[in-house]
Amino acid sequence: MLLSNGDVVIHLLERQVRALVQWHGPVLANRDPEALHQMRVAMRRLQVTLQQFAPLLQLPPQLERRRLAKTARRLGLARDLDVLNSRLHEQLLPQLPPQELALLKPVLKQLRRERLQAHGQVVEQLNGGAYLGWLAQMQRWLRKPAFTPLPQQPLADALVQWQLGWMAELYLHPAWGLDRWTKDSQREQLHDLRKQIKLARYQLDNCKPLLGRRCRRQLGQFKQMQELLGELNDLQVLQRAIADQLHGSLAADLPRLDGLLQQQQAQCWQAWRLLAVSQGRLATGQQLLGALRHNRRQALLQRRARLMCSALQRAVFCDWRAPGSAR
């Protein structure tokens, strides 16, 4: 069966809204950081789906995706602090000498305080009328969704036409050619590229039933690139967060920690550059676009074959029901 746009978008939205409801209680309980991570991912994917399939959906003004932006930011702040704390306690602190651990106590205390404040903001946001009202309205809409004339169009028809607007922008991004990341402007470019890679990954994943082997392999590469750029950003944020709370410099006060951070950043950057060299070419984007077009043609050929088969079956059925009738 060839999936229609409407079939796909309703399935995606129902799954993502269900995830928001599922993780709501565990996030408020604040016992496991994984709950916050899963809820944040579900909200990100929901925002991408609403953007990607916007030409299909007739949503009331109350369901505009920008109304989720504030909630997403609150979740993001708390999640970022979880990531920083996890990296510190699981990877860095066990390798530090006692004198550096002593100097870090006020820093760790401040990070715990900020995480507690961030959780309070998350609770306020998730229990607020704006978010709960949006969620209830979306659940009502999903029970009786409204569409433009496009939802019955097969997903394959739409895939190349309006799912791939990000292709040229992604593969022509200047951050592919960066050979260092030390300046603020370079970090901003890398952060922007990471957001575009994440958008491309989620959009392709939403069309997964149509993807061939090459495109599924590209999905895995997008995930790897997103994780590397995210790790590099986390290391830089952690480095600045610690340095801001020290009287002296990070290198002078905490030389072992500074060395570990520098080493991890260098390893992450080297791994990213290896991927960027192979991916940061227009030819790669053209190959992916060609693969998606091939997948679309294959899906359309299968659809025509099924329709032709159905027509032959109808013809045989009619001849059997009315032998001798005029042709």
The count of domains in the chain is 2
For the chain, the straight-line distance linking the first and the last C-alpha, in angstroms and rounded, comes to 31
Whether residues 130 and 3 share a domain: the answer is: yes
- What is the domain-level CATH number for residue 28? 1.40.20.10
pLDDT at residue number 318: 39
Residue 158 maps to a domain? no
Residue 159 maps to a domain? no
**Cα distances (Å, whole numbers) of residue 265 to 10, 181, 259, 270:** 41, 10, 10, 9
Residue 11 maps to a domain? yes
pLDDT at residue number 287: 62
From 153, 184, 210, the end of a domain falls on 153
Structural domain boundaries, residue 102: 1-153
Whether residues 140 and 268 share a domain: the answer is: no
Whether residues 120 and 218 share a domain: the answer is: no
Whether residues 68 and 149 share a domain: the answer is: yes
Residue 231 maps to a domain? yes
From 153, 186, 208, the end of a domain falls on 153
Do 72 and 44 touch, CB atoms closer than 8 A?
yes
Three state DSSP letters for the chain: CCCEHHHHHHHHHHHHHHHHHHHHHHHHHCCCHHHHHHHHHHHHHHHHHHHHCHHHECCCHHHCHHHHHHHHHHHHHHHHHHHHHHHHHHHHHHHCCHHHHHHHHHHHHHHHHHHHHHHHHHHHHHCCHHHHHHHHHHHHHHHCCCECCCCCCEHHHHHHHHCCCHHHHHHCCHHHHCCCCCCHHHHHHHHHHHHHHHHHHHHHHHCHHHCCHHHHHHHHHHHHHHHHHHHHHHHHHHHHHHHCCCCCCHHHHCHHHHHHHHHHHHHHHHHHHHHHHHHCCHHHHHHHHHHHHHHHHHHHHHHHHHHHHHHHHHHHHHHHHCCCCCC
**Tens digit of each residue's pLDDT, the chain (327 residues):** 456 778 888 999 999 999 999 999 999 999 999 999 999 999 999 999 998 888 889 999 889 888 899 999 999 999 999 999 999 999 999 999 999 999 999 999 999 999 999 999 999 999 999 999 999 999 999 999 998 876 666 665 555 555 555 666 787 788 888 888 878 888 899 999 999 999 889 988 888 777 777 778 888 888 999 999 999 999 999 999 899 888 889 999 999 999 999 999 999 999 999 888 876 554 455 566 666 666 555 555 555 554 444 444 444 333 434 334 443
pLDDT at residue number 262: 94
pLDDT at residue number 233: 92
Whether residues 149 and 168 share a domain: the answer is: no
Residue 184 maps to a domain? yes
Whether residues 34 and 127 share a domain: the answer is: yes
Residue 2 maps to a domain? yes
Whether residues 5 and 147 share a domain: the answer is: yes
pLDDT at residue number 319: 42
